[in-house]
């Protein structure tokens, strides 16, 4: 086994470490700790945060890549180890080869035969045109009529194993957190559902295609799970690239005013006047030309797809900072006129100290709220960009590529609906959880909301 570290893999692990350090430092501030306590004191906060953590966990598992060692060819005596060109992740291992069970073409969820007819020969050798049986679905059945009883029996067994695994994992958490005042039972309920569904999915997928297969015969459930890493990483990295630009320019414009404010306003007004989709599409296509002209920079195909993915994150971040910059500029203009800031100026306090002590802490609520809201918006933006053909590389799993591939499938008769359904469900759950969590963060950190609660 040869470990493979892609640029996106390194970035997602650095991101997780940075977020852990960030929240650890926030715990030192009693006011910030109290506000986060408000978020997690509600059942909705625990449920949505647990859902987000599940997606992040899947993305981390899918970011541990390696190449399997191949057996030496017969008759060749050498100490050199040869590795497979295919890059595998820990998630692929946990799914027990779900992505390796290919069919000829489309097949419906839990189907035993292909969705399209082909030329075949019957037992007498006569040429017929019929639906061929699938290679990796229902081959263990002697009678096709036994399909649904078999699915029910295997589902019951898998769910029992899932309940047992959930009981062990949640029991350990209960021993450590039983004195906590937070509603952990809400999080444990979500964990139990996720664990049971995962065990059921892995078990059933060995015998059936739960969400069917696409045009290339790839399992749709597997594609949907592989899209989790792309969605989480793109939304987070693009937002983190955008934040430093927006915060720096917004604070400078609102604090220093004058020509600095004029320059910053000119920049974000000019950027906002350019159609975003066209700007992003042009930038992506330019980078794709660079990749095509320099193939020697990438040893495997996945590195090329990863480079395009990182470039898309950077482009989305650089082109989406204007809205947050406006908000922070307006808030900084208001804060800079407050009495304690004017008093600090009168006492000769340096600009850097005023910005660090009085301005930035009072715009944190805007940054946090925008971070979560822009995360979900950028996840949806990736789907739109892939739909028009300038998004993620087709070789990399993403919900946008699945939706793009479903365009022609929805117009055919009978309709191939399961590809779009898989992408929609996974994207909907992530975006909904992020939006609900952002509402709770806004209620906890927005001073106006806190003031209304105190008056009530």
CB burial readout 367-405, b (16+ within 10 A) else e: bbbbbbbbbbbbbbbbbebbbeebbbbeebbbbbbbbbb
How far apart CA 236 and CA 262 sit, in angstroms, is: 30
**Residue ranges per structural domain of the chain:** 229-455
Predicted confidence at residue 55, as pLDDT, reads 93
Residue 145 has pLDDT above 90, yes or no: no
pLDDT of 299: 67
pLDDT above 50 for 254: yes
Residue 453 scores a pLDDT above 70: no
Q: What pTM was estimated for this model as a whole? A: 0.87
CB 358 within 8 A of CB 344: yes
Considering 329-333, 357-361, 439-443, the range whose residues carry the highest mean pLDDT is 329-333
- The string of pLDDT tens digits covering residues 200-244 is 999 999 999 999 998 888 999 999 999 999 888 888 888 888 888
Q: Which CATH number fits domain 229-455: 1.10.3720.10, 2.60.120.10, 1.10.520.10, 3.40.50.720?
A: 1.10.3720.10
Give the pLDDT score at 451.
46
Write the pLDDT tens digit of every residue in 61-111: 999 888 888 776 666 666 677 777 788 899 999 998 888 888 888 899 999
Measured between alpha carbons, how far is 360 from 328 in angstroms, rounded to an integer? 9
């Amino acid at each position: 086994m040869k470990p493979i570290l892609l640029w996106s893999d390194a970035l997602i692990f650095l991101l997780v470490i940075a977020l852990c350090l960030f929240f650890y430092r926030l715990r030192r501030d009693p006011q910030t700790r109290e506000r986060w306590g408000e978020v997690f004191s509600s059942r909705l906060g625990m449920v949505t945060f647990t859902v987000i953590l599940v997606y992040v966990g899947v993305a981390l598992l899918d970011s541990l890549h390696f190449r399997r060692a191949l057996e030496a060819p017969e008759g060749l005596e050498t100490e050199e180890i040869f590795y497979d060109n295919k890059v595998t992740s820990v998630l692929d291992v946990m799914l027990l080869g779900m992505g390796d069970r290919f069919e000829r073409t489309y097949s419906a969820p839990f189907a035993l035969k292909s969705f399209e007819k082909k030329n075949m020969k019957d037992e007498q050798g006569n040429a017929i045109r019929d639906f061929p049986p699938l290679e990796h679905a229902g081959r263990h059945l002697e009678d096709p009529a036994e399909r649904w009883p078999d699915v029910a029996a295997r589902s019951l067994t898998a769910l029992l194993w899932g309940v047992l695994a959930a009981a062990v994992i949640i029991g350990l958490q209960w021993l450590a957190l039983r004195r906590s005042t937070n509603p952990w039972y809400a999080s444990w309920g979500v964990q139990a559902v996720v664990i049971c569904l995962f065990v059921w999915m892995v078990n059933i997928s060995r015998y059936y295609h739960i969400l069917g297969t696409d045009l290339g015969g790839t399992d749709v459930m597997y594609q949907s799970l592989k899209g989790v890493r792309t969605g989480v990483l793109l939304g987070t990295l693009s937002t983190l690239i955008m934040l430093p630009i927006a915060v720096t320019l917004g604070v400078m414009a609102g604090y220093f005013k004058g020509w600095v404010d004029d320059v910053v306003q000119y920049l974000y007004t000019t950027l906002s006047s350019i159609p975003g989709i066209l700007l992003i599409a042009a930038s992506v296509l330019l980078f794709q030309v660079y990749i095509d002209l320099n193939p020697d920079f990438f040893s495997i195909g996945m590195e090329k797809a990863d480079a395009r993915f990182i470039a898309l994150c950077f482009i989305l971040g650089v082109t989406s900072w204007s809205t947050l910059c406006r908000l922070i500029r307006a808030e900084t203009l208001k804060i800079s006129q407050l009495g304690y800031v004017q008093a600090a100026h009168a006492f000769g306090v340096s600009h850097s100290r005023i910005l660090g002590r009085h301005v930035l802490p009072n715009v944190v609520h805007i940054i946090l709220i925008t971070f979560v809201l822009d995360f979900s918006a950028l996840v949806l933006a990736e789907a739109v960009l892939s739909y028009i053909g300038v998004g993620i590389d087709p070789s990399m799993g993403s919900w946008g590529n699945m939706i793009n591939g479903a365009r022609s499938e929805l117009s055919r008769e009978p309709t191939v609906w399961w590809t779009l359904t898989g992408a929609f469900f996974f994207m909907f759950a992530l975006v909904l959880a992020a939006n609900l969590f952002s509402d709770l963060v806004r209620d906890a950190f927005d001073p106006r909301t806190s003031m209304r609660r105190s008056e009530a």
